[in-house]
Structure 1
Amino acid sequence: MAVLVLLLYGLAHAYWAFGGDGFPFGADDANPEYSAFEHVGRDRLAPWIAGGFLGSAAVALLLALPGRRRIPARVLMGASVFSAAAEFCTLADFRILGNLVHVFMLKFGAINWTVVNQLFAVVAVGLMVASAIIYQRRTSGACTGCGRTDSGAGWTSPEAAARWGRRAAYTAVVVPLLYASTRWAWALGIPLGISEELWEEGKKDNLWIAGAALATMGALGSLLTLGLVRRWGEVFPRWAVGLRGRRVPLSLAVVPATLVSVLVTIAGVSTSGCTSREPSTTRRTTGEPRFRR
């Protein structure tokens, strides 16, 4: 699957590199002021992106081939990590997360061709990273599903995982609540951590109300994280009509958590200086800093 998706997207960029219509990045971005390549045209950018995705398709193919390989595992793993990092630091940004919020609010107007392509790129590279993880487990003799070995020792052993997993779950609950507390404070009229001028600007557009709503969603999601270390996260509770007493599928917790963590990481990377974008005024979509060159 990873090979096919990466290959098709690489060919799409090759099409754009040869003059095809619909290139979504750089100067052709729907909102170029948010792009790391705001002033880079299709003729220069599309060939590089095409080469990157076609190269990633080749790496994914090597990861999927059975038997022994002449290329060291570290080289293939390193290429996968480099490809993911390059995509996260250049093509994807906070707009994916912001548009996801709009989807939950049944507001689809902000979704544009650039965001669709950003999401597709993230999925493509994510499939390659998943292939790399399975490859590493397979070549090291570990279980391809959980990563554990026959020895049962190390950080993946049930005893060790129970210890650090509990700490990680509690941390994952506390950190979003700290974030949410600032947004709730702004909505209540307390300019916690920001200037009075910035708070007044956001108040005029009801920006802090939207930010508080987003923070509340994050807080509720963080509380669900407790299900990873609580009984109700393993077996559906009594009030779950039709599911009471059944085991909670592992994918029900892992898939949404992975999706949100990846999108939050991308948003964090795009605001941390990985690209040349710098915070300025306010972004009116999710109550967070807006960016410009």
Structure 2
Amino acid sequence: MAVTQRIPVPVWNRWPTWTAYAALLWSVIYAVLGISWALGGGGFPFGANDINAEGQGELLAEATAPVAGSITAALGAAGVVTAGAMARRARGPRAMLLGFGWSVAALLVLVLPEVRALNIALFPLIFLTLDKMDWPTMNFLILMVGGIFWAGATLAYQRASRSACANCGRVATDRTGRAEAWLLRWGRVITYVAIAAPWGYAVVRLAWALDIPAGVSTEFLRRMESANDGAGAKGMELVLAGMCAGGSLLTVGLIQRWGEIWPRWLVGLAGRPVPSAFPVTFASLAAVGVTAVGLSWARGLPGLIANGFSGDIEGYPVGPLFYLPIPAFLIWGVALGLATLAYYYRRRDDCVHCRRGEAVGVASPVRSRP
């Protein structure tokens, strides 16, 4: 009798299974915490207990433990039931499970996190300092991790519940979905948008580093320099502008050969295929973080529009250019997410789980070369 050799699958590739249980465990923990906060227990991270919320924690600045704790407990309990149903691949109610899962994922990753936590997530080498890592900030980071668990669990359930492979999303008929075909057609254009968008932030920061008052007054720049020891403020602006410029450059790899084949100057890797999971994972996380920052900044957008994109910061007048990073980050995040998805669709190989091949019949330009 022939024996079929089972190919070991890394834990990372089993994410459709363990993300549901991770979301369930996360929900249990926050259900318990919510009950504790509602009953007067310590550690409530919002409202008056968040001493660093001024200027960057407006969304939950008025939250109280009895109300927010009760809501947290209710959402946690509903999450336990929903994640359990997703783990069992329950057939219904599918729309309700998907609606809850995606809503919770968006709430935890894109809506609730404040700017200070998002800064640490995106720029850890700059903003990760001990004085900023208080419990409320750590809680926001934990919320984001829970949101990622929920996104993975919901995506896997969405695929499995329509008889598609939970890992790659392909169906048995190998027919190209409309969204996939659209991304393969417009992916390059969308990637160009993702390449250009971060410069809306980088140019403003670079101007400030060069003492050009873009969108602000000269007095505002002097105030920033005196508060950050002059050279320190300029150095920070240059680093932030450089990181956005670096993100723009790396995005180019999503449509260039060196984004699929390691370049010659990388000794030991030159000429080898770039594992698609590498750029997809990091670009996806960057897209989520950038979008969350843009949404956090955009909470005051209705008021800005009413005031003609003018206002004041600590008594100093600011103009429209000061607010340019808000639409720049929103466009950057969405475009980068779509560009990454187009890159994934273009490069994905046969699935090791369902053994289904290319669903679109379009080979990567790089891999088709001799």
TM over 0.5: yes
Higher deviation after alignment, 230-239 or 190-199 = 190-199
| SS of structure 2 residue aligned to 1:156 | helix
For residues 207-256 of structure 1, the C-alpha deviation after alignment (integer angstroms, 9 at most, x for no partner) is: 35312311211210221111111111112122222222222122211222
Match of 2:125 in 1: 104
Q: Which residue of the other structure, out of 248, 251, 258, is the alignment partner of 2:277? A: 251
Matched, 1:281 2:313: yes
Residues in 1 aligned to 2:68 and 2:301: alpha-carbon distance in whole angstroms: 16
Matched, 1:138 2:160: yes
Match of 1:58 in 2: 81
Residues in 2 aligned to 1:208 and 1:268: alpha-carbon distance in whole angstroms: 23
Q: What one-letter code is carried by the residue in structure 1 that aligns with 2:261?
A: V
8 Å contact from structure 2 (residues 262, 269) kept in 1: yes
Match of 2:140 in 1: 118
Q: Which residue of the other structure, out of 7, 22, 25, is the alignment partner of 2:46? A: 25
Q: How does 1:41-80 map to 2 (within 5 A)?
A: 41-69=64-92, 71=93, 73-80=94-101
Match of 1:190 in 2: 212
Q: Which residue of the other structure, out of 286, 295, 298, is the alignment partner of 1:272? A: 298
Residues in 2 aligned to 1:225 and 1:55: alpha-carbon distance in whole angstroms: 38
Q: What one-letter code is carried by the residue in structure 2 that aligns with 1:152?
A: T
5+ residue gaps, structure 1:
283-287
| SS of structure 1 residue aligned to 2:60 | coil
For residues 159-184 of structure 1, the C-alpha deviation after alignment (integer angstroms, 9 at most, x for no partner) is: x5433221222111100123211111
Match of 2:60 in 1: 37
Residues in 2 aligned to 1:32 and 1:276: alpha-carbon distance in whole angstroms: 21
For residues 85-115 of structure 1, the C-alpha deviation after alignment (integer angstroms, 9 at most, x for no partner) is: 4445763111122223662138422222111
| SS of structure 2 residue aligned to 1:272 | helix
Q: Which residue of the other structure, out of 144, 151, 160, is the alignment partner of 2:175? A: 151
Matched, 1:171 2:197: no
Q: CA deviation at 1:141?
A: 3.3
8 Å contact from structure 1 (residues 26, 45) kept in 2: no
8 Å contact from structure 1 (residues 24, 113) kept in 2: yes
Pick the structure with greater CA Rg.
2
8 Å contact from structure 1 (residues 25, 91) kept in 2: no
90 and 45 in structure 1: CA distance in 2 versus 1, 3 angstrom threshold: farther
| SS of structure 2 residue aligned to 1:32 | coil
| SS of structure 1 residue aligned to 2:197 | helix
2 and 183 in structure 1: CA distance in 2 versus 1, 3 angstrom threshold: same
Residues in 1 aligned to 2:161 and 2:299: alpha-carbon distance in whole angstroms: 36
Q: How does 1:202-281 map to 2 (within 5 A)?
A: 202-204=224-226, 205=228, 206=230, 207-273=233-299, 281=313
How many residues are matched?
A: 280
| SS of structure 2 residue aligned to 1:248 | coil
Match of 2:25 in 1: 4
184 and 13 in structure 1: CA distance in 2 versus 1, 3 angstrom threshold: same
Superposed CA RMSD: 2.8
Q: What one-letter code is carried by the residue in structure 2 that aligns with 1:251?
A: A
Residues in 1 aligned to 2:236 and 2:205: alpha-carbon distance in whole angstroms: 9
Q: What one-letter code is carried by the residue in structure 2 that aligns with 1:240?
A: L
Match of 2:37 in 1: 16
Residues in 1 aligned to 2:185 and 2:111: alpha-carbon distance in whole angstroms: 36
TM-score when normalising by structure 2: 0.67
5+ residue gaps, structure 2:
1-21, 305-310, 315-321, 324-370
TM-score when normalising by structure 1: 0.83
